[in-house]
Amino acid sequence: QAQLVESGGGLVQAGDSLRISCATSGRTFSTYTMGWFRQVPGKEREFVAAISWNGNTYYADSVKGRFDISRDNAKNTVYLQMNSLKPEDTAVYYCAAAIYGSGYFTGDQYDYWGQGTQVTVSS
């Protein structure tokens, strides 16, 4: 089983940028679909971005044009570059890995999850 370790969260002001990372121990990382989800207390986890094994990217409408997902297979790491952050981006951000890449947009399509990293955007 893959272990995903997230880092890079923190407190920023609206308009700032932040990059969060997810490193995985999975030996087949290069074939995984990788995704980012976020969750606010009292709400369901929502899709943010995903990147397929061959580099295709997908974004929620709420972050499209502001966020950029990328992967470095040599480092077994996926990144989420967040720009022009808004208070409504405040959430715990989770990375996830899907072995078989059956889809991108729902949590049940992923097999492994990180512990989450808190991103707080102040007004």
Q: What pLDDT sits at residue 28?
A: 77
Helices (H), the chain: none
> Pick from 2, 21, 1: which is nearest to 119 by CA?
21
Q: What pLDDT sits at residue 27?
A: 75
Burial annotation 46-77 (CB, 10 A radius, 16+ → b, else e)? ebbbbbbbeeeebbbeebeeebbbebeeeebb
Q: Encoding tokens for residue 24?
A: 């995985």
Q: Encoding tokens for residue 122?
A: 């102040």
- Tell me which amino acid residue 102 is: S
> Chain-wide mean pLDDT for the chain?
95
How far apart (Å, rounded) are the C-alpha atoms in residues 98 and 87? 29
Residues 6+ apart with CB under 8 A from 108: none
Q: What pLDDT sits at residue 101?
A: 75
**What is the per-residue pLDDT across 71-115, written as a single tens digit (0 to 9) for each?**
999 999 999 999 999 999 999 999 999 988 778 999 999 999 999
Mean pLDDT score, 62-71: 98
Helix (H) or strand (E) holding 8: none
